[in-house]
A and B are shown apart, each in its own frame.
Chain A
Amino acid sequence: MTKTMPLWEVFIRPRNGLSHKHVGSLHASDKTMAINAARDVYTRRGEGTSIWVIPSTLITASDPSKDEENFEPSENKIYRHPTFYDIPDDIGHM
């Protein structure tokens, strides 16, 4: 089945101005069928105004065994968060 019906990742944009977000995956024979299936599976309740599909095999993912070197170094660098500024009250919510 993975040969004739490969896996596709589905991205939906909920509204204009927002970005496409990953919502899940599905099996389809080609890109046309993948868009149709994505429409049927992931937009039944008015979730989207635009659909992207991409073959799962085209996605390159980070290696979970390298989590330590990839992500831990950023955990103790709290100064990278913009939380050390006093914001004047009349600026309001930023």
Chain B
Amino acid sequence: MSKILTKALLELADDHLILGHRLSEWCGHAPLLEEDLALPNMGLDLIGTARSLYTYACQVEDKNKSEDDFAFLRNEREYVNCLLVERPNFNFAHTILKQLYFSVFMELYWAAALNSDDEMLVGIAGKAKKEMAYHVRHSGEWTVRLGDGTSVSNKKMLQAVNALHLYTNELFINTENSETYISKNILPDRTSLKANWQKKIKTIFKQAFITYPNNNDELLGGRVGLHGEELGHLLASMQSVHRLHPGAQW
């Protein structure tokens, strides 16, 4: 195995860690006690998957590295997560929509990864797919309740769609690093998931009285390390303990 696979794995791992951290930011701040538990619960699912992927990346690249090196000792430009997951929580509607976009994609991705020729990835996919199924249910039900709720909640969902939809295209782009492993049947082809993703999102939007955006606006850059300034703030907070106490163990 090689460094190229590590890079491809980091794209996946970073998506999970950053979105997981975003969800953890709701801890103690959610609009309901029930959601105060639900959102960090889901954050822990994502961080758990990120850990498996970082650990696997260490195995294929450099056995002297640990998952902590990837998570805590890289800066913004070295992170290759897609831009969608780093968007700030802003409000509950934004958070739910971001979660819906990502989890619908990942459920399809992991389902495809179950057919991978790489045993480790099949193992990670098996566990993660079940977690994603719940994330889709949770965020999907909320999307419908908010979209079909009050005029205020509907407006906030529409604003969230306006703000976030242009980040979704990045999910379906295969980077050069991952192309190598798609042709070897190790990683799933992201472009092949788009039709099913749109179908699922459109079904939920219809129930939620949200119009699916017709334009093709997109914002890219995350996979090559070009991020919004918000990622810097997130990393500063997430990495502060490790940088103050290098090598500290939980």
**Once the chains bind, are A40 and B38 in contact (CB under 8 Å)?**
yes
Residues of A within 8 Å of B141, CB to CB, are 32-33, 36
With a CB–CB cut-off of 8 A, which chain A residues contact B137? 36
Q: How large is the interface on A (under 10, 10 to 19, 20 to 34, 35 or more residues)?
A: 10 to 19
Q: Decide yes or no whether A44 CB sits under 8 A from chain B.
A: yes
B12 located at the interface, meaning its Cβ lies under 8 Å from any Cβ of chain A in the complex:
no
Q: Give every chain A residue within 8 A of B134 (Cβ-Cβ).
A: 39
Kindly state the separation between the CA atoms of A67 and B18 in the bound complex, as whole angstroms.
56
| Cα separation A32 to B32 with both chains bound (whole Å) | 16
Residues of chain B touching chain A, judged by Cβ–Cβ distance below 8 Å, are: 32-35, 37-38, 41, 134, 137-138, 141, 145
Main secondary structure of the interface of B (DSSP, over half): helix
Cβ-defined contact, A40 with B145, below 8 A: no
> Does any Cβ of B come within 8 Å of A23's Cβ?
no
Instruction: Kindly list chain B residues whose C-beta atoms are within 8 Å of the C-beta of A37.
Output: 34-35, 38
- B145–A29 touching, CB < 8 Å: yes
Q: Is the CB of B138 within 8 A of A36?
A: yes
| A27 at interface, CB cutoff 8 A | yes
B37 lies within 8 A of A28 (CB) = no
Contact of A26 with B by CB under 8 A: yes
Residues of B within 8 A of A44 (CB): 37, 41
CB neighbours of A29 from chain B (8 A): 145
Determine if A33 and B145 form an interchain contact, defined as CB atoms under 8 angstroms apart.
yes
B103 to chain A, nearest CB (A): 14
Contacts of B32 in A (CB 8 A): 5, 27
Q: Tell me if A41 and B34 are in contact (CB < 8 A).
A: yes
Q: Do A28 and B34 have beta carbons less than 8 Å apart? A: yes
